[in-house]
Amino acid sequence: MAAPAGGQDFRRAVQLGRLRGWLFPLVALALLLALVGWLAGGAGEGHQVVDRGQPADRGQLEARRGALVDEVVFTEQRDVGQVTGLIERGSHQVFAQGITRPGLFHRLRDSAATAHDLSYGTSVELTLNPSGPEFADGRLNPFAVPAMREALNWLVNRRHVAEEIYGGLAVPRYLPLSTAFPDYARLAETARELELRYAHNPARAREVIRHEMGRLGAELREGQWYYGGEPVQLTLLIRNDDERRRIGDYLGNLLEAEGFRVERLYRTAEEASRIWIAGDPSGGRWHIYTGAWVSTLIQRDQAENFSYYYTPRGRAEPLWQAYEPDPTFDDIADRLQRRDYRDWDERQALMRQALDLAMGDSARVWLVDQLNVWPRARDVNLAGDLAGGTSGSALWPYTLGYEGRLGGRVVIGTPEIITEPWNPIAGSNWIFDRMITRALSDPPVLPDPFTGLHHPQRLARAEVTVEAETPVNSTLDWVQVDTVETIRVPDGAWVDWDSGEQRFVTAAEAEPDGLTARTRVRLIYEPGYLERRFHDGTRASLADVVLPWILTFERADEDSPLFDVAHVPAYEAFRRHFRGWHIVSEDPLVIDVYSDQIFPDAETIVAARAPGTTPWHMLALGIMAEREGSLAFSSNKADRLRVDWLSLVSGPSLPVLRRQLERLQQTDHLPYAPTLAQYLTPDEAAARYQALADWYAARGHFYVGDGPFYLRGVHPVDGSVVLRRFTDFPDPADKWLQFAEPQIPELTLDGPVVVAHGESVAFELAVTFEGEPYPREAIQQVQFLLFDGDNRLAHRGEAEYRGEERWRVSVPAEVLQRLGRGANSLEIAVTTDRVALPAFASHAFATVPGGKPLAPPLEVSP
């Protein structure tokens, strides 16, 4: 549970790097000043003059609306080895790719021109192809068998991956829970038990592999597996643009040693995605993919991970539709996704069962959680997310700026530009694309980058009503939680959609005997919410809220031309908990959402229910194009129809969308008119179409939003995207600037290294931040686990607060007696409300027969 030595050394290096930033020698400071002057003068061929805006005082900052900078340029830059040099030369100010190589970090840390942020939300795993046991062409796929997938857990050495491949900038991960998020600490006992059960054990892996291969009808001849008279060849799809290339080679060597012939396909992100995520798994183009996932915010509740990663409900792509989990596992995963439990204890019991069953399924074999370093220029500030870093931050558009200045340009380097088509219904989910599109929209709530709790952005407040004894709590005062015995859905609430009549079906029609729900969320939007302007100058309306809601139902209706089979699994999961949607008031806008799904945090429930605004006239182009069969919102439907995946910003979609816009203008057509005409006049619709036509003529794309930036230009050939500040954005520029450095607890654990039987023992824990005591009121829990020499849990409990930053872990004599003789370990987990990341510390000690002298205390820094 504690980080390995390399990871600890790196964290200390980060702290030392901060000190060096203040104590840097005067000579280096002089060089920095010279460098800044050089850049400002544009000296040197190939160096750029960077517009860093103008000095600004507090009054100017408070008077400004929208973004702090005037322009953001994204450029494609795949070589992370050039990051420090590019920042020093002034051509780039921020990089949207985390650094995971110690050598590159040291160069970044030691540069006078650079600074960095840290994140903990990236994980690396092996994605297994579950199709089979024979592919369509008759070749064997051993990983169609769960036991073969499970065996890989024993075959790979996660500590080797963390320490040797990632140089200590990672920690071993075994489970579908991030080691950096709250659920891992909450389930520490189960996590530790499973980690010990699936620890590196190549002998056991070989035993299982040989048994299961024999059952499949394969033969081992002279160390080589054969099936149907042919050698069994495994195809490894290996990402070649980061450390996963070395992981793929390491795994390939292990599998070759077990008697398999291995084909290694080295591919970039875009090349690989066409094979593993977009291709048919039964085609047999791959057996194992070196996958990685980035959480773009702190996940306070990871109960959905089991459905997402192991069942067809997770995603619409063909790979997910090939998953066939054990029925018991599938049922538990579904219950956890819907939060179908009575209380917290039942939730934890389901989580423990799901973790155990997930390891038996092993559609994914988790390897490590990475520590990512996110580079930026020293005079640039932005709110990075502790999980998603810079590219995953929801607040970067609201906080990006130069220290003490307003305006100017920031150049951001990113590994990919427009990796997949952009559209707001089923467009690209790549983190580098999503980073850019997040700046173009303004959601009702935004997540705290350090805790994952959501704060209101376009809501004035929210009320969450739950059935009595439902385990839901709020932390922030903008959300009120109330309990009642029964929540009845009003007769006028919308509960379904009639595609033929193009209208919503009410609760009174669908459920004449009445309908109840576990929760009701009342969303009270800020005054003037529907008076805001979109980037093309048009004013928002309720139609922009309602049309995306219509598409949720329309795309799941087999009788609709927009039906998309890839949308059905997610829709079915939604229908299992959705109970109704009711517009209580239009001015101010108040919406009630009824559902049986809960989350432990009321703020998360609100975030999951609150609809924003997506310009209906922009969506209308895609709706028309999909209806006529010329484009499709999703990649899955595009492949099935053999048409282009709809992009609002580039490629062959643009002339198709332009033609659709001309048709809409000529006919004054309004999609789903029986419903949307309630919120629009014909003149308003015509004005929308004309504004979009003018926008396309000026910008060359159809992407319109309401965020702090608008999309000024898209240049796929040049590999760049340009954003400009939206001057009509309603918020002051300093609204989100209160987010400073995350207060991650620093733990120091003191205690004896030798303890005699017959005696009790106490260990002292100090919890600090930057040398100061961590506030007692901010600490939620300090729990400990005591393991014996065989790594069995012998005792657990909570530490006792002793004042200041000190905590004490007391172990009674009878517990020590049960430990026996030899080595033992004490492990500590601390959770706070300042950051969602739990902090860990560990201490090893030995127990000996009574009468032996105790050694003096030894201080251990985690």
Between residues 26 and 683, the one the model is more confident about: 683
Between 15 and 383, the more confident residue is 383
**Which domain does 223 fall in, by range?**
121-301+317-324+364-369
CA-CA distance, 213 to 206, in Å (whole number)?
A: 10
pLDDT over 50 (residue 733) = yes
Domain containing 814 — which CATH number?
A: 2.60.40.1220
Task: Check whether residue 537 and residue 605 sit in a common domain.
Answer: yes
Task: List phi, psi (to 5°) of 235.
Answer: -105, 115
**How crowded is the C-beta side of 857, counted as CA atoms within 13 Å?**
12
* Opening angle at CA 692, ends 688 and 694, nearest 5: 115
Q: Is the pLDDT confidence value at 43 over 60?
A: no
Q: Could you read off the pLDDT of 98-154 as tens digits, one per residue?
A: 888 888 888 998 999 999 998 988 999 999 999 999 999 999 999 999 999 999 999
Look at residue 614 in the predicted model and tell me its pLDDT: 98
325 token code pair: 């989990």
Question: What integer best gives the mean pLDDT of the chain?
Answer: 90
Look at residue 834 in the predicted model and tell me its pLDDT.
86
The pLDDT value recorded for residue 680 is 93
Question: Do 89 and 132 share a structural domain?
Answer: no
Distances (CA, A) of 86 to 92, 131, 335: 6, 45, 49
For the segment 205-222, the average pLDDT, to the nearest whole number, is 96
- Coil, strand or helix: which one is 251? helix
In this structure, are 468 and 611 located in the same domain? yes
| C-alpha–C-alpha distance, residues 560 and 552, integer Å | 12
Region 705-720 average pLDDT: 95
Both tokens of 521, joined, read 């969320």
List Cα–Cα distances, 316 to 423, 548, 572, in angstroms.
16, 18, 12
Q: How confident is the model at residue 34 (pLDDT cuts 50, 70, 90)?
A: very low
Q: 627 versus 740: which is more confidently predicted?
A: 627
Cα distance between residue 415 and residue 80, in whole Å: 9
Same domain, 113 and 128: no
pLDDT band at residue 26, thresholds of 50, 70 and 90? Answer: very low
- Tally the domains of the chain: 4
Rounded to whole angstroms, how far apart are CA atoms 626 and 630?
Answer: 6
Q: How confident is the model at residue 851 (pLDDT cuts 50, 70, 90)?
A: low
Helix (H, G, I), strand (E, B) or coil at 56: coil
C-beta separation of 295 from 388 below 8 A: yes
What long-range pairs does 638-645 form, CB within 8 A, spacing at least 24? Answer: 639/278, 640/565, 644/421, 645/420, 645/421
Q: Which residue has the tokens 């959300």?
A: 479
Residues 805 and 826 in one domain: yes
Position 344 in a domain: no
Residue 11 token pair: 């964290």
Residue 573 confidence (pLDDT): 85
Shared domain for 26 and 95, answered yes or no, is yes
- Do 102 and 230 sit in the same domain of this protein? no
Residue 804 in any domain: the answer is yes
Which one is predicted more confidently, 169 or 155?
A: 155
Amino acid at 658: R
Nearest Cα neighbor of 785 from 743, 838, 833, 745 is 838
**350: in domain:** no
Domain presence at residue 229 = yes
Q: Would you state the pLDDT for residue 25? A: 36
pLDDT for 837 equals: 81
Instruction: Tell me, letter by letter, the H, E, C secondary structure of 691-748.
Output: HHHHHHHHHCCCCCCCCCEEEEEEECCCCEEEEEECCCCCCECCCCCCCCCCCCCEEE
Say what the pLDDT of residue 438 is: 96
User: What pTM does this model have?
Assistant: 0.80
Same-domain pairing of 773 and 798? yes
Proportion of the chain above pLDDT 90, given as a percent: 72
The answer to whether 614 touches 541, Cβ cutoff 8 Å, is: no
761-769/800-803 β-pairing? unpaired
The pLDDT tens digits for 427-480 are: 998 889 999 999 999 999 999 999 899 999 999 999 999 999 899 999 999 999
> Following CA atoms 297, 302, 306, 310 in sequence, which dihedral angle do they give, to the nearest 10 degrees?
10
Give the pLDDT confidence score for residue 206 in this predicted structure.
97
Residue 48's pLDDT is 56
CATH code for the domain of 238: 3.10.105.10
For residue 523, what pLDDT is reported? 98
Judgement on whether residues 626 and 495 belong to the same structural domain of the protein = yes
Total residue count of the chain as it appears in this document: 862
- Alpha-carbon distance of 100 to 122, in angstroms, equals 10
User: Coil, strand, or helix at residue 677?
Assistant: coil
- Which residues lie closer than 8 Å to 446 by C-beta, 6 or more apart? 394, 395, 398, 454, 455, 457, 736
In a domain, 737, yes or no: no
In a domain? residue 809 = yes
Q: Are residues 523 and 608 part of one domain?
A: yes
- Report the alpha-carbon distance of residue 114 to residue 380 in Å, rounded: 9
On whether residue 260 sits in a domain, the answer given is yes
pLDDT for res 30: 35
812 assigned to some structural domain: yes
Are 157 and 285 in a shared domain? yes
* pLDDT value at 783 more than 60: yes
In angstroms, how far is CA 382 from the centroid of its own chain? 18
Task: Tell me what percent of the chain is helix, strand and coil, each rounded to the nearest 5.
Answer: 35, 30, 40
- Residue 638 backbone zone (phi > 0: left; psi -120 to 50: alpha; other: beta): alpha
Q: Which tokens go with 612?
A: 């924003």
- Cα-to-chain-centroid distance, residue 762: 39
**What confidence tens digit (pLDDT) does each residue in 395-437 have?**
999 999 999 999 999 999 999 889 899 999 999 988 899 999 9
Q: Kindly state whether residues 402 and 524 are assigned to the same domain.
A: no
For the chain, the C-alpha Rg in angstroms (whole number) is 28
Give the Å distances, CA to CA, from 846 to 245, 448, 507, 788, 854: 41, 43, 66, 9, 10
Q: How far from 618 is each of 154, 315, 525, 658, 703, CA to CA, in Å?
A: 51, 25, 23, 11, 7
